[in-house]
Structure formats: structure tokens, C-alpha cells
Amino acid sequence: AQSVTQLDSQVPVFEEAPVELRCNYSSSVSVYLFWYVQYPNQGLQLLLKYLSGSTLVKGINGFEAEFNKSQTSFHLRKPSVHISDTAEYFCAVSEGTGFQKLVFGTGTRLLVSP
């Protein structure tokens, strides 16, 4: 079975600083990878996804992620964070092409302070 590891449960950072949220997955087959953001008391919103092709994926709100097959990683980055980026971020992997069986990491809470 697939598994996803988010190494940091909480990442504090100052506004306008860069940030990287780490995600590693376990799989020996082709995978489809996602980053979702959850603001307080809200549902999940897709930030970006890797399905195939270029390993550098750009998403909404200035976020990007790099798929690294050899290291089985899909780290999320942003060069300059805003207060409004404070939220919980989930990395997920799909076990199939229909995305009905997503496996999620435990989440990373990004805390941006002035």
C-alpha cells in the first residue's frame, strides 16, 4: 500500500521568507501527486498536481513543487510567503488514475508571522 510522509508537523516562518514543505511517498509504480491547502474550517483546495511530464510543477498562489523520482519526494516551495499563506498543507498520492483513492500525509501547518 502507498504511504505519504510529511516530515514536519509545523513550520514557522516570517513573512516574505522562503519556505519548503517536505513530502516523501512510497511507491514502485507510476504515481500521481498532489498538494492541497486547507484554511481554518474550510475544505481542501488543490494547490498543484503532478501527473506526468515536467518534474517542476507550478500551482496557484505562487507555489511550486518538484517531483523527484529517485528520492521519491514531492517537496512544496514558495520563494516569499504572505501572512495569508497560514494554513495546513497536505501532500497526497493517488493509487489510480481516477483519484478516488487518495492517500494523504498527516499534514504540515504553515505559520507565517510578521
Partner 1 sequence: NAGVTQTPKFQVLKTGQSMTLQCAQDMNHEYMSWYRQDPGMGLRLIHYSVGAGITDQGEVPNGYNVSRSTTEDFPLRLLSAAPSQTSVYFCASSGAPGTGVRAEAFFGQGTRLTVV
How many residues bind partner 1 (CB under 8 A)? The answer is 26
Q: Which of residues 29-88 bind partner 1 (CB under 8 A)?
A: 32, 34, 36, 42-46, 49, 51
List the one residue from 9, 30, 55, 113 that touches partner 1 (CB under 8 A). 9
Under the binding rule (CB under 8 A), the answer on residue 111 touching partner 1 is no
Q: Which of 5, 3, 25 has its CA nearest to residue 70? A: 25
Contact 75, 25 (CB under 8 A): no
Alpha carbon 12 to its chain's center: 16
Closer residue to partner 1, CB minimum distance, 17 or 63: 63
Under the binding rule (CB under 8 A), the answer on residue 14 touching partner 1 is no
Contact 38, 87 (CB under 8 A): yes
